Structure 1
C-alpha cells in the first residue's frame, strides 16, 4: 500500500514505518530510526553537507527567488534528514554564529540572505510527503514544494490541502505564514488543517532540542502549534515538518482525513485592453470586483465555489487581466461563472479579449479566453507552471500587501488610477493584484490561530518584477509611492479599520518598520498580527528566549 511511502521531488522513501512510533510520542521527539533500505534501494542519503565560497555551487545557494538579495555567509549547510537539523543549529549556537533558514527560497525580503548572516541552513532537500499512520495524518517536510504536495495527496489519496498557486513555494514559510490559494474560499487556509508541527528550538541555556507541538488542547506545547498556524516564519525555531489532518476527522483511512478538491473546474482568463480604458472604466472595474466579493464571501455561501484574481497592470503592460476558477461540480457552476463575469464587466463597456501579454507573475493565457473545463489537478498544474516569476532566475522584485474589508473609497480608486497610468515611467512589470478571499477563511475566530486576518473579503498585492538592476530605483519608488497614496488617509499603510485590515506576513515589507513610509501610529507587527502579537511574544519568550532566530520583522521578545 502507498501508506508506507513518501514521495519527494527526487526520490522515494520508506519512512512512515520508522517514523510512526517516534512521531506518536509527542513532546520532545527522539531521533527517528533511519529507513532500513535507505542505501540499498538507492535512495538519496547524505550527511549534512557544508558548502563555502570555495565550492562552485556556493553562488546558487546564497540567494532566493528575489535576486535583489544575495548573501555572503561563511557556509551553507544542506541537510537530508530531519534528524540532522538539530546538530547544525547546535553548532551555530555554540560558535555564536548568526543563522537563518531557507526552505524554498521564496522569502521576498532579506530575512534569509543579508550581510549579517553567517550560516544558512538549507532545508530544500527535506522534501518527503507521506501518510503517517502513527498520527493518522499526512506528514510534509518543510522543503516539500507545493505542487509535489498536491500531486501526491490527490493522485494517491484523492485529497488536498488548500495552499498556494506557485509550484515551487515550499511548505516551510508558506504554512507558518498562513498560506492561501484558489481553494481558500471553499476550504479555508492550509493552517486550518495543521495538526502538528516539529520544531528545533534553542533554550535559554543554549541547548537545542526538537519539539512536536499539536493542536490537542491538552498538549503542553499547544501554544507553539498555535504560533506556527500563521505566526510567521523564522520566529521561534526551525520547522522540519508539518502534519495535516482535518480537525475532528477520525479513523485511519487517509482518504477521509483531508478535504477533497473539486473533481473538475472551469478556468478562464480575460483581458481589457488599456488603450480602451478610461479612469471611469478602470475605477468601475476595480469597484465591481470589490463589491462582488464583499457581497459573496460569507461562510457557506454558494459563491465560495468561485475564486478570481484581477491584475491591474501599469498601462505600459498593455492589458488588465483577470483569471477565474469555479468548481465545475457545484449546481449551476457555469451560470455562476457567466453571471460573475457579467457583474465584473458591468458599466465598463469594453469587450474583453484573450490574455496575450505577461501580467504580474504570469505569462500569456490566450488559450483560456473562453472557459475551459479541466480536471482540478491539471488546472492547478497549469497555473503553477505558467508563473514566469518562478522560471526566470534574473527577476528582481518588490512587494507590498493589504487586506480589504469593504469596497474602495473614491480616493483610493483615484490614487490607483493615477499611478497605473503614470507616463513619467515605463514599468510593464508593475502591477496590483486583487485576490478573492473570505468565505471559509473567515469561519475561525481571529484568535483561533496565530493568523488574525479572518474578517476580510479580498486582498491586494503590489508586485513589481524586473530584470535590470539599473531599474531598481524606479520600480521600488513606484511601489512605495502608489501604496503610500492609496493609504494616505491612514499614514501610508492599511491600518485595520472598517475598510482595511493590515498586511500579509508572507508578502513581507521591511518598509513597514520605517517611519519614513509608515507614518501611522500602528507598528508593523500590528499590521501583520493585530491583537495576536502579544500572545506570539509569549511563545517567543518560552521557545526562543535568547532571540536566536531573528530577522528584520521577527517576533520581538516581550
Structure 2
C-alpha cells in the first residue's frame, strides 16, 4: 500500500511537471507567434512592469482585483490585423482569448476566469474611433470606444441627431451592443442593437467578415446575443436617430411619507403607455423613489402631458431643465454640475464593489407588496437599490425573435437590483441582501423562465460545463441561456455552431455551439 501510494504521488508529480512544462512551452510559442505580427509594445506578460496597471485600468469592480484567475497575456491591438494574428496564434497554441471593450462586464468575464486556465485578454482600448457620416445619418463605432466617446462625437456632428444607448458613459460599446443595450430613449427608438446595420467581425479562423460574409444568422446573433461568443466584433455601423433641438429632463424624489408607494404603484401602469417621446425611470433606494425623466421636447409641451397622464407625480415648471440631447447625457448620469466634456473621462471611482441581478415585470406589483418592499427590504441597514426602466413603445413593438433580445411585448418594466460595499470588504451582508430580496421577488416577476437581462450578467443563474471534447454543453447552457434569451437560445447556439463549432471563444456564460447533425 505504501509503495503504491509513493508511485501514485510520483506519477502525479511527473504529470504535474509535464503539464506545467507544456503550458510554458505553449505560452512561449504563443509569444513568438504574436511577435511576428504585433509590435512588442502592445504585448504584456505577467512579468511586464506595466502588466498590472494595464489589466487594472479596465477593471470596473474592485472585488475582481484579487482572488481571481488572471490572464497570462494582455494584447492591446491597434488594428484588425493585430486581432487576426492574436486569434490565429491563440488557436495554434491552445491559448484562448477573452475580449474586453470597456470592462463593465458585471462578472468580469472579459478579463478574468472563474476556473484555473491559461488565457489572454484582447483589450480593444486602442481600437476606439467613431466616424460619423452626417449625410447618411450613420456612424461606424469601434468596440473599444466608450458610450461617452460615441455620444460626444455624435453631439459634435449636430444638435438634431443622437443614439439610443445606455446612461453610463464609461461603458464599452462592444459589450453594450452585444447584450442589447438600452437607455433613456428605449421607448422611442428601442435598443442600441436594434439600430445596428452592419459590423466587422474577426472569427475563430482569423477571417475579417462584414455583415454579408458572416451570414444572416451570425449577424442576428451578435446584436444582443453575447457577441463575444461568436468572435471579436471590431466595429459597428449604426443608424443615428432624430432628436429635437431642445429636450427636457426632470428629477422628482418622492419619499414614503410623501406617498411614494402610491405614486410608484401608479407609475407601473402609466409609464409603459405614455407617448414614446417621454421616458420616466425610477431609482428606488432607502425610503425614496426618485423619478428621472427624459422628454424629447420642451417643458411647455411636457407639463400638460404630465398633468393629464400622470398628475400623481406633481411635476411643475420648477422641475424642468431644458437643454440639448448631448447636454442631457452628463446631466442625467453625472449630475447638474457636469459638462459635456466629462463624458470623455474613462476612469471611474473604485471605492465600492458591487453585485447586481435583474428581473422583468409583466404584471403590476400590488400596493401591499410595495409597502413591504419599502418597510422591510429597503429599510434594512445593508440594503441596496432598485432601478426600474419602463418598456412599451418601440422596444415592445419589435418581435421577440427579431434580435436575440426577447424581452419585448408584454413587459411593463425591467428591474435591476444592485448593492454596494467598501472595496476592501467582503460584502457578505450586502450579497445576502440582494440574494434574499431576489428570492422574495419571485412571485411578482416573470416566470417560466424567470427572465434576466444579458448585460446585467449574473453567474448565479448558472455557468457553462465543458465536456470531454472541450466544448460547452448546450443543455447545461439552457439553465442560464433561456433566462437571458428565452426561445432565441437555440438559434443562438446554432449560429455559434456555424461560426465557432469548436467553441474557441468561450467563457462561463458564452453561447455553446449546437452543430447540425451532431
Same fold (TM over 0.5): yes
1:142 corresponds to: 143
State whether structure 2 residue 22 is matched by structure 1 residue 65: no
Structure 1 residues 412 and 531: alpha-carbon distance in aligned structure 2, compared to 1, 3 A threshold? farther
1:292 aligns with 2:270: yes
1:48-84 Cα offsets, whole Å, 9 max, x none, are 7112233343223334211222352111111111231
User: Which residue in the other structure is 1:272 paired with?
Assistant: 254
- 3-state DSSP of counterpart to 2:414: strand
Match of 2:425 in 1: 470
* Cα pair 1:411 1:486 within 8 Å, conserved: no
Runs of 5+ in structure 1 lacking a partner?
1-44, 246-257, 297-302, 346-351, 354-367, 515-520
Alpha-carbon deviation of 1:408? Answer: 1.0
1:187-224 Cα offsets, whole Å, 9 max, x none, are 1211222111111111xxxx32221125xxxx761111
Please say if 1:129 is aligned against 2:130. yes
Q: Deviations over 1:65-117 (max 9, x none)?
A: 11222352111111111231111122122111132110011101131222535
Change (3 A) 1:133 1:307: closer
1:549 corresponds to 2:505:
yes
Distance in 1 (CA, whole Å) between partners of 2:372 and 2:45 is 47
CA contact (8 A) 1:74 1:118 kept: yes
What is the distance in 2 between the residues matched to 1:546 and 1:170?
27
CA distance change for structure 1 residues 132 and 468 in 2, over 3 Å: closer, same or farther?
closer
For 2:447, the equivalent position in structure 1 comes to 495
| Equivalent residue in structure 2 for 1:343, among 303, 312, 316 | 312
Matches within 5 A, 1:347-496: 370-386=319-335, 391-409=348-366, 412-413=369-370, 416-417=373-374, 419-423=376-380, 425-427=381-383, 430-455=384-409, 456-487=411-442, 489=443, 494-495=446-447
In the alignment, which residue of structure 2 is the partner of 1:209? Answer: 207
Larger of the two Rg values belongs to structure: 2
Kindly report the root-mean-square deviation, in angstroms, between the aligned alpha carbons of the 2 structures. 3.1
Provide the residue aligned with 1:162 in structure 2. Answer: 164
Q: Secondary structure at the match of 2:64?
A: coil
Residue from 169, 182, 185 that aligns with 1:183: 185
Aligned residues of 1:415 and 1:485 also touching (Cα < 8 A)? no
How far does residue 331 in structure 1 lie from its aligned partner after superposition? 8.0
Residues paired across the two proteins, number: 447
Mapped contact 1:412–1:486 kept (Cα < 8 A)? no
Secondary structure of 2:487's aligned partner: helix
- CA separation of 1:422/1:220 partners in 2, compared to 1, >3 Å: closer, same or farther? closer
Superposed, 1:223-242 pairs within 5 Å as 223-242=217-236
Matches within 5 A, 1:76-95: 76-95=74-93
> Deviations 1:447-468 (Å, cap 9, x if unpaired)?
1112111112321100112324
- Following superposition, the deviation at residue 404 of structure 1 comes to 1.9
Look up the match of 1:171: 173
- 2:484 and 2:148 map into 1 onto residues whose CA distance is 27
Distance 2:99 2:154 in 1: 26
- Larger helix proportion of the pair: 2
TM-score, normalised via structure 1 length: 0.73
The corresponding residue for 1:13 is: none
Cα distance change, pair 134–384 in 1 and its aligned pair in 2 (3 A): same
SS of 2:512's equivalent in the other structure is coil
Question: SS of the residue aligned with 2:481?
Answer: helix
**Pairing partner for 1:307 from 276, 279, 287:** 279
Q: 1:421 to 1:401 in 2, by over 3 A?
A: closer
Native 8 Å contact 2:154 2:161 kept in 1: yes
**Residue deviations 1:280-336, cap 9 Å, x none?**
x4432331121112443xxxxxx2111122111135xxx432211211259832322
In structure 2, the partner of 1:30 is none
* Alignment correspondent of 2:294: 325
Specify whether residues 86 and 48 from structure 1 end up closer, same or farther in structure 2 by C-alpha distance, changes over 3 A only: farther
Query: Would the alpha carbon gap of residues 494 and 135 (structure 1) be closer, same or farther in structure 2, given more than 3 Å must change?
Result: same
- 2: CA distance between counterparts of 1:199 and 1:69? 28
Give 1:47 deviation, angstroms. Answer: 6.9
1:15-51 deviation per Cα after TM superposition (whole angstroms, max 9, x unaligned): xxxxxxxxxxxxxxxxxxxxxxxxxxxxxx9777112
User: Is the contact between residue 389 and residue 395 of structure 1 (CA under 8 Å) also seen in structure 2?
Assistant: no
Corresponding residue for residue 364 of structure 1 = none
Asked if residue 536 in structure 1 is aligned to residue 485 in structure 2, the reply is no
Q: Distance in 2 between matches of 1:209 and 1:332?
A: 52
Going from structure 1 to structure 2, the CA distance change for 1:85 and 1:509 (only over 3 Å counts) comes to same
Using the size of structure 2 for normalisation, the TM-score is 0.79
Does the residue aligned with 1:441 lie in a helix, a strand or coil? helix
Cα distance, 1:188–1:62 mapped onto 2, change above 3 Å: same
3-state SS, counterpart of residue 208 of structure 1: coil
Q: Which residue of 1 aligns with 2:119?
A: 118
In structure 2, the CA distance between the partners of 1:116 and 1:431, relative to structure 1 (3 Å rule), is farther
Question: Aligned-pair distance for 1:369?
Answer: 6.8
Secondary structure (helix, strand or coil) at the match of 1:143 reads coil
